[in-house]
């Protein structure tokens, strides 16, 4: 879809192609409105591809007394597990209990009983010291008492965003990446009338009429809509992850532990055939226009926590294959310690300009629903014929039996109603994994064919995630990727060379292991 293909007027324009914007787009299209989503960079470029990938109630929010937020998030977790099997998958957690620091066994048990109660089923259990040592070999034995285990869920965050966007498009919505909202114009009564935009590739400005702009630009929200609440502003907080190969410490569950330095929870968790260690929570003072990156200070903090919990693990920053940082759109009144700031969302409304920011990946649907409720009074009656329609899943028939069940689940989870066509149409050999990751060559080809790729980084960091999972961002297989994608991306040899160089440069600057970057 190009800017030239779009209409002159929409019922709703959504600015921001992260999970909040994508969720709002999908819900608005489903309600029958004519909707346009625009994303200044690539879909999921912002925080929504840089999270800890957990679909969770958030035990620590319970500890802060945020019962309603936790309960709503637990409910959303259960709903997402049902709605997106294969994309949102159950994940076990284990949290060791020590008697010299961190929460006690009894407080953990109370918290987890409430957590299970919220889910409507018992989802936690206790482990003895011996059992913990079996499950987590090498765990710090000193003062170890026991552990608690509980269930949450995991997602490929960028793919969740993409699924919402492409299914929204299938129902009649329109979505453009690399298109930025640059301003708004109001009518004589002060109501929103026109949204100014910029096609970022051609530097071509254009404008579209609308009665509603939903500003879902996350940490950037105050650029379009300064906070109407005195002294209450977005405080961008950076959270960082280090990524290691799975072979270094194979894990089948999340190891959740308390960092000895500041008593914050930190996680070591399996994801897509690798192991992630995160996260930090620090004021983000880097340039907001460029990609955030993990600093050496953050890397040392994370490694210090890991060494404390797994003292004999022979792991150093040299083993790290990549790193990723994201910026939380946290709303703050009086600056508290970063991890004590509220993760709740806000909706601001000003004559057709609706801003929705804050919140969590898990609760995106609540944000979408609140934004659309705030927009309702400005909206005309829906005109779109798809009103109330939902995507119907194709039945998987015997032509799909050529690929394994796990591949079927992966494809149907990531691509929803488009998955069936991928499995039926592509050669079987494309369903083999890319190196030692779980990503499939078929996913690369599908993205090149259908998923608005403008840069190699769109393909390797968000459509598939191999840029994070392979050494040097997958440099070794770039030529093979070029051969596979050439028929589907209209790039000449010069563009391929430029893209490959730009990708390597971007990866080395923002995604490489912090130690290698600084040396």
Ligand X SMILES: Cc1cc2nc3c(=O)[nH]c(=O)nc-3n(C[C@H](O)[C@H](O)[C@H](O)COP(=O)(O)OP(=O)(O)OC[C@H]3O[C@@H](n4cnc5c(N)ncnc54)[C@H](O)[C@@H]3O)c2cc1C
Which residues of this protein are in contact with ligand X, per CB under 6 A?
Answer: 15-21, 38-41, 45-48, 50-54, 180-181, 216-220, 224, 239, 279, 326-329, 357, 359-362
Q: How far is the CB of 343 from ligand X (least distance, A)?
A: 7
- H-only helix segments in 269-404: 296-309, 364-375
Of 404, 438, 442, 394, residue with least CA distance to 422 = 442
Residue closer to ligand X (CB basis): 359 or 419:
359
Q: How far is the CB of 110 from ligand X (least distance, A)?
A: 23
Angle at which helix 19-30 crosses helix 364-375, to 10 degrees, equals 60
Q: How far is the CB of 346 from ligand X (least distance, A)?
A: 11
Phi, psi of 72 (to 5 degrees): -65, -40
Q: How far is the CB of 231 from ligand X (least distance, A)?
A: 22
Q: What does the alpha-carbon distance between residue 98 and residue 104 come to, in Å, rounded to a whole number?
A: 7
Residue closer to ligand X (CB basis): 343 or 445:
343
Q: How far is the CB of 119 from ligand X (least distance, A)?
A: 16
Residues 360/361/365/366 CA torsion (nearest 10 deg):
-10
Q: Are 10 and 383 in contact (CB under 8 A)?
A: no
Q: What does the alpha-carbon distance between residue 81 and residue 74 come to, in Å, rounded to a whole number?
A: 11
Residue closer to ligand X (CB basis): 22 or 400:
22
Q: What does the alpha-carbon distance between residue 239 and residue 235 come to, in Å, rounded to a whole number?
A: 13
Residue closer to ligand X (CB basis): 361 or 434:
361
Q: How many CA atoms lie within 13 A of 109 on its CB side?
A: 8
Residue closer to ligand X (CB basis): 156 or 443:
156
Residue closer to ligand X (CB basis): 18 or 111:
18
* CA–CA–CA angle 424, 429, 432 (5° rounding): 105
Residue closer to ligand X (CB basis): 165 or 181:
181
Q: How far is the CB of 395 from ligand X (least distance, A)?
A: 32
Give the single-character DSSP code of 395. Answer: P
Q: Are 229 and 269 in contact (CB under 8 A)?
A: no
Q: How far is the CB of 126 from ligand X (least distance, A)?
A: 24
Phi, psi of 172 (to 5 degrees): 120, -5
* Residue 410 to residues 155, 273, 396, 498, Cα–Cα distance (Å): 11, 14, 13, 32
Give the other-Cβ count within 10 Å of 518's Cβ.
10
Residue closer to ligand X (CB basis): 256 or 357:
357
Contacts for 3 with CB less than 8 Å, ≥ 6 apart: 176, 179, 197, 199, 204, 206
Q: How far is the CB of 199 from ligand X (least distance, A)?
A: 12
Q: How far is the CB of 302 from ligand X (least distance, A)?
A: 12
Q: In DSSP terms, which residues pair with 215 in a beta bridge?
A: 15, 355
Q: What does the alpha-carbon distance between residue 258 and residue 107 come to, in Å, rounded to a whole number?
A: 14
Q: How many CA atoms lie within 13 A of 31 on its CB side?
A: 20
Q: How far is the CB of 17 from ligand X (least distance, A)?
A: 5
Residue closer to ligand X (CB basis): 362 or 439:
362
């Amino acid at each position: 879809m190009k800017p030239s293909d779009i209409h002159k007027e929409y019922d709703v324009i959504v600015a921001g192609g992260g999970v909040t914007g994508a969720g709002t787009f999908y819900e608005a299209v489903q309600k029958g409105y004519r909707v346009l989503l625009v994303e200044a960079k690539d879909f999921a470029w912002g925080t929504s591809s840089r999270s800890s990938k957990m679909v969770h109630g958030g035990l620590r929010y319970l500890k802060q007394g945020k019962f309603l937020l936790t309960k709503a998030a637990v409910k959303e977790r259960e709903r997402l597990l049902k709605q997106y099997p294969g994309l949102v998958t159950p994940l076990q957690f284990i949290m060791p209990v020590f008697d010299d620091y961190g929460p006690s066994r009894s407080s953990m048990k109370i918290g987890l009983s409430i957590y299970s109660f919220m889910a409507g089923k018992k989802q936690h259990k206790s482990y003895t010291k011996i059992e913990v040592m079996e499950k987590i070999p090498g765990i710090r034995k000193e003062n170890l008492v026991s552990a608690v285990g509980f269930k949450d869920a995991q997602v490929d965050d960028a793919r969740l965003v993409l699924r919402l966007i492409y299914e929204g498009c299938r129902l009649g919505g329109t979505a453009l990446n690399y298109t930025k909202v640059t301003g708004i114009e109001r009518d004589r009564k002060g109501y929103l009338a026109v949204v100014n935009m910029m096609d970022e590739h051609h530097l071509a400005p254009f404008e579209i009429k609308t009665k509603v702009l939903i500003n879902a630009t996350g940490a950037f929200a105050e650029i379009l809509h300064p906070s109407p609440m005195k002294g209450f502003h977005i405080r961008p907080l950076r959270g960082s992850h280090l990524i290691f190969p799975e072979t270094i410490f194979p894990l089948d569950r999340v190891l959740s532990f308390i960092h000895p330095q500041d008593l914050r929870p930190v996680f070591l968790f399996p994801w897509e055939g690798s192991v992630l260690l995160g996260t930090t929570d620090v004021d983000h003072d880097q340039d907001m226009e460029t990609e955030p990156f993990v600093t050496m200070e953050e890397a040392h903090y994370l490694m210090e926590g890991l060494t404390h919990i797994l003292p004999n693990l022979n792991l150093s920053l040299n083993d790290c294959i990549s790193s990723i940082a994201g910026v939380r759109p946290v709303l703050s009144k009086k600056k508290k310690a970063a991890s004590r700031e509220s993760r709740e969302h806000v909706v601001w409304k000003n004559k057709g300009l609706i801003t929705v920011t804050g919140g969590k990946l898990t609760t995106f649907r609540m944000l979408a629903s609140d934004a659309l409720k705030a927009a309702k009074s400005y909206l005309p009656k829906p005109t779109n014929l798809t009103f109330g329609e939902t995507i119907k899943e194709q039945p998987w028939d015997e032509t799909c039996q050529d690929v394994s069940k796990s591949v079927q689940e992966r494809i149907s989870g990531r691509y929803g109603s488009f998955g069936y066509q991928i499995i039926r149409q592509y050669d079987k050999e494309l369903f083999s994994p890319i190196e030692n990751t779980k990503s499939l060559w078929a996913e690369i080809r599908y993205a090149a064919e259908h998923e608005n790729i403008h840069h190699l980084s769109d393909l390797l960091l968000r459509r598939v995630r191999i840029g994070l999972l392979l050494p040097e961002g997958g440099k070794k297989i770039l030529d093979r990727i070029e051969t596979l994608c050439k028929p589907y991306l209209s790039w000449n040899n010069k563009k391929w060379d430029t893209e490959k160089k730009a990708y390597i440069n971007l990866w080395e600057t923002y995604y490489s292991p912090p130690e290698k970057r600084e040396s």
